[in-house]
A and B are shown apart, each in its own frame.
Chain A
Amino acid sequence: MRLLPSQENAILASPMVLFLLALLGFPVVLSIVYGFSEASFQSLMSPKLIGFANFQLVLQDSAFWDAAWFSLRFGLITALLECVLGLFLAVYLAPLIRENGWMVAVLIIPMIVAPAMIGLMYRLVLHEFAGPVPYYFYEWLGWSPSFLSTGMVFKTIVVAETLQWTPFAFLLFLTAYQAIPQDIREAASVDGTRPWRMFWKIELPQMMPTLFVAGFIRFIDGFRVFDNIYTLVGAGPGGSTTSMSIYIYETFLRRGEIGKAMAAAILLFVVAFAILALGQSLMRRRR
């Protein structure tokens, strides 16, 4: 039997296509059906079509908008902090790392630990009786903030997220930095360029594309945050740490409002997709 190339291609593609259809195709249909239906866990099998009511419900829910604002703020702030810190570490430590490759391994450990685990670890570390952080605050300053209180919790999770994912930005910048041809640097330094000027005028411009990529990826990841916040504080005091992901989770599993959760998920999909498309077209234009 002789197969045409197009038939061969179809055969090669089939495992993945079937896999995706089974695991994503069906759920997509479900999302749409339930997004436009009224359903709870009791009436799961008999959804009642109600048109755009769920979307209306979501869009009128102030908690949804709070969650959206929270995710946006969280994503932007953490991405910015991670990029600044990561860039500093990469550029400042690069000469040291050239001789000590293992340092990279030490600095990327946080990324290999599950974010959910990190969240749990902070519960311990920040605990007012068992945690070392409050202990040292009392020991040295005689006073300690309550890290998970309404006023502090946003800062706490921003710090937790930043410390875990700065290594990611660091890694991208380090790779980009090391990829700058050495002769460019040498040529510049023969021309009498000082280190600080070298960074601003020569190295940073070369790393600009990476800066955008890293910032974008970190923003997306911060925007969709769930694990570490959920394990550390859940929805937070008074729902103050409800990200988009947590909002949908709570709507769905806690409150059993399936239709509303689906509608919110669809909205989130649209928003995420728009951000992605925008980010990618921006990046493509810069190249």
Chain B
Amino acid sequence: MKLHLILRWLVFVTAALVLNFPVIATFITALKAPAEIARNPSLVVQNPTIENFVTVLTVSDRLNIYHYLLNSLLSASIGSLLPIVVAFPIAWAMVRRGYGRNILFPLIVNLRALPLIIFAVPLYLMFSVVNLLDTRLGLGLVLAVVNLPLTLMLLVNAVAEIPIELEEAARMDGARLPRLILRIVLPLCRPAFITTFVFGFITAWNEFLFGLILTTQKAVPMTVGASFFFATSGGGVQWGVAAAVMIVAALPPLLLGLIMYRKITGSMVSGAVKG
């Protein structure tokens, strides 16, 4: 019994270190001064410094990380809020009226499994026509498409969990559809909205392919911006700065995800199992 307990802890610690190894190693590198990186690639920092983070967070000609962060923030916000807005009404109709349950719902849920590149190419062409290339709005709209399937699924689950008697009681109380939805269903779905939003925001923030294809400068999101630091300009990659950039870039979804990990894991599982 005792032995098993120790073994289990050992397995957990090993798994935690190995699975998170790239993140840990990057963080350690970010704490090293440039001179130390060249000398000491090991995982032990001799003189920890926040120099790299200072460089990253200071605006300079070569680098303005706030630009990328803001782009990501805005496009990911659009990309996670818009699907909630458009999917919520139909989620109700699907659950309570069975509307679109047989064709529309499976169709949209299956979009989730398609390779995104399929959409990327035609969307590029379309955006070049309607002038949405390299705009935050354009990127946000596409991220909304990416998030739509899971959002719809989570909202359908949320509406289905509202006891039908509550809606019946409201109808007996004289509420017509708009009031029923706005005053009863909407408030009761609020926890689901929060979970869905956080999940969608993380997904949108982490998206890379569309950022790569649909933006070039003005609307470049953080994931794509981070990769610029590896494009060796002149004197090779500045590893410490690059590492710090990655940590900063990964931090917003990480914080959100860790604060809400119970909700997030819950939606991941239900998203996977019900699909």
Contacts and interface: CB of A to CB of B under 8 A. Distances in A.
Q: Tell me if chains A and B make direct contact, with any CB pair below 8 A.
A: yes
Interface of A: 3, 5, 8-9, 11-13, 15-17, 19-20, 23-24, 26-28, 30-31, 34, 44, 89, 92-93, 95-96, 101, 103-118, 120-125, 127, 129-136, 139, 160, 163-164, 166-168, 171-172, 175, 210, 213-214, 217, 220, 223-224, 226-227, 230-231, 244-245, 248-249, 252-253, 258, 261-262, 265-266, 268-269, 272-273, 276
A168 B22 CA distance: 17
B59 interface: no
Contacts of A230: 208, 212
B122 A34 contact: yes
Contact of A124 (B177, B242, B250): B242
Contact of B23 (A17, A105, A121, A136): A121
Looking at chain B's contact residues, the main secondary structure is helix
A13 B125 contact: no
Given A172-B273, A226-B209, 14 more contacts: A5-B97, A9-B99, A16-B148, A24-B119, A93-B15, A109-B258, A114-B205, A127-B41, A132-B43, A172-B269, A217-B272, A230-B208, A253-B213, A268-B115
B207 to A, nearest CB: 8
A89 B23 contact: no
B162 interface: no
B61 to A, nearest CB: 22
Given A5-B97, A105-B261, A122-B22, A272 B226 contact: no
A180 B56 CA distance: 49
Interface string B1-40: 0000100110110011011111101101100000001100
Contacts of B177: 3, 8
A136 B121 contact: no
B128 interface: yes
Contacts of A92: 8, 11
Contact of B273 (A210, A245, A266): A210
Give chain B's interface residue range (CB within 8 Å of chain A): 35 or more
10 contacts: A20-B148, A26-B126, A93-B15, A116-B224, A118-B22, A135-B41, A163-B22, A164-B19, A171-B269, A266-B118
Contacts of B37: 130
A132 B226 CA distance: 20
Contact of B208 (A20, A125, A130, A226): A226
Contact of B20 (A110, A130, A249, A262): A110
B41 A30 contact: no
Nearest to B213: A253
A244 B115 contact: yes
Contacts of A27: 119, 122-123, 125-126
Given A26-B126, A27-B123, A93-B12, A163 B19 contact: yes
Nearest to A217: B272
Contact of A109 (B23, B123, B224, B226): B23
